[in-house]
Amino acid sequence: MLAASAIVFGMIALVLAGGYIDWNFMHYREATIRSHLGHLQVSRAGYRDSGVADPFAYILDDDTTSTNALRAIEGVRLLAPRLAFSGLISLGDNTVSFVGEGVDPAMERELSTNLLIVAGETLSEEAPREVILGEGLAASVGASVGDTVVLLSTTSSGGVNGVEVKVRGLFASVAKAFDDTALRVPIGLARELLRVSGSHTWVLLLDATSATDAVAAKVIQRLPADGYEVTPWTQLADFYNKSAALLAKQMLVMRVIIALIIVLSISNVMTMSVMERTSDIGTAMAMGARRTLVLRRFLAEGLVLGALGGAAGLVLAMFSAYLISAIGIPSPPPPGMTRGYTAGILLTPGLLAGAFALSITTTLVASLYPAWRASRLVIIDALRFNR
């Protein structure tokens, strides 16, 4: 019972901790994708490396043949054009720099579902001269919903152009640094401001994040090899990638600690079991039981203990996970975010299988020395033990 209890509580701790980390991975991944990145971004070749220095050299023509071909790919939910630009935003005596995106309001309502509107409303095709600001940018310039601001930017010919727009809403994404500098405008207004046609990127939203690589390969096949580049979200979400790598290492350390606890607990219990049954082992060997049979019996005992303890631990862990998820785990804002959230426990087949495999493996490892020690007993000394 002591050994089984160690396995059960080890499995519960491992599954709950791993499920909490996996839930955060999933939540932050989907929030990143559905706030501003999308699953895939298509742009002119070289735009990622040189587009900041010369953005007008990498404009994509809104070729309906190409965009319709990409939309027809299985797994693609929608394709939205975006036009990137930068400049100055002014309100009264306050002027600050911004990084802007011209977007299609209708498509972004489905693509940017995790872009939280904290005040006012999101962009609308019925309001072509209204913009939304990141809440950090709005605070810097002193703007609020309903204010009229002026946007200044450099045109494709090298001149300066300005437009007067109304603040329709304020937004917050998963990245505070993005909210401190970003604004969004209808793409028609962005083209008017920059005096261009077309867009810098086509952002693709897929039916499933797991299909990103497969769909990316199909997109590459549909486009000219030397004219475009296809960038998956994993190459754009640098903070997510580093956070995921850090949490994965923390989870590995936790697995090692739990494995050591189980090994030490099982090894201690099995060693005591061997000592308590020394006379029985001697009697069995005196009646003809071979040493290999004694070894197999103790290994089998460890295997059964690991299987039963692991199974019970998984059942209790799954029940606890569903209960905790129903209640929710209030979590503070992670680094780089401004708002907390209510987390849950995500149970995946890989997590449950890994935890069960760990219980089996560790109990077998823990049983090796006691089983070997039992099989090495001298029959005469075993029979005289405790007499």
How is 7-57 classified by DSSP, letter by letter?
A: HHHHHHHHHHHHHHHHHHHHHHHHHHIIIII-SEEEEETTHHHHTTT-GGG
pTM of the model: 0.74
Q: Is 131:165 a contact under the CB 8 Å cutoff?
A: yes
- Write out the chain's pLDDT in tens, 387 residues: 777 887 888 888 888 888 888 888 888 888 888 877 889 999 888 888 887 778 888 888 876 777 888 888 898 888 889 999 999 999 988 899 999 999 999 888 888 887 888 889 998 888 889 999 998 999 999 999 999 999 999 888 888 889 999 999 999 877 777 888 899 999 999 999 999 888 888 999 998 888 898 999 988 888 876 788 888 988 888 777 887 788 788 878 877 887 787 777 777 777 777 777 777 777 777 887 787 887 788 788 888 888 888 899 899 999 999 999 999 888 877 665 666 778 889 898 988 898 888 888 888 887 777 777 777 777 777 666 655
Report d(CA 324, CA 164) in Å as an integer.
50
- Please, are residues 36 and 112 in contact by the beta-carbon 8 Å criterion? yes
Q: Cβ distance 223 to 65 under 8 Å?
A: no
Predicted confidence at residue 320, as pLDDT, reads 92
Q: What is the pLDDT of residue 110?
A: 85
Q: Is 232 left (phi over 0), alpha (psi -120 to 50) or beta?
A: beta
Round to whole Å and give the CA distance between 237 and 226.
Answer: 25
Q: Is the dihedral of CA 206, 211, 216, 221 positive or negative?
A: negative
Alpha helices in 278-328 (DSSP H): 278-286, 291-327
Residues 6+ away with beta carbon under 8 Å from 300: none
Characterize 237-252 residue by residue with b for buried, 16 or more Cβ atoms within 10 angstroms of its Cβ, and e for exposed. Answer: bebbeebbeebeeebe
The pLDDT score that the predictor gives to residue 150 is 93
Q: How far apart are CA 366 and CA 52, in angstroms?
A: 59
CB 273 within 8 A of CB 373: no
Q: Name the amino acid, one letter, at 41.
A: Q
What residues does each domain of the chain span? 2-28+240-383, 46-225
pLDDT value of position 37: 82
Q: Which residue type does 70 have?
A: L
Q: Locate the DSSP E strands across the chain.
A: 40-44, 76-91, 94-103, 116-120, 130-134, 148-154, 160-172, 182-186, 201-206, 228-232, 329-331, 341-343
**What is the reported pLDDT for 386?**
56
pLDDT of residue 264: 76
Q: How far is Cα 326 from Cα 343, in angstroms, rounded to an integer? A: 10
Tokens standing for residue 234 = 């994993």
Give CA–CA dist 363/259, Å, rounded: 9
Strand pairing report for 341-343 and 329-331 = antiparallel
Give the strand pairing for 40-44 and 329-331: unpaired
Backbone angles phi, psi at 53, to 5 degrees: -75, -35
pLDDT of residue 334: 67
d(CA 142, CA 136): 10
Query: 321 — phi, psi (to 5°)?
Result: -65, -45
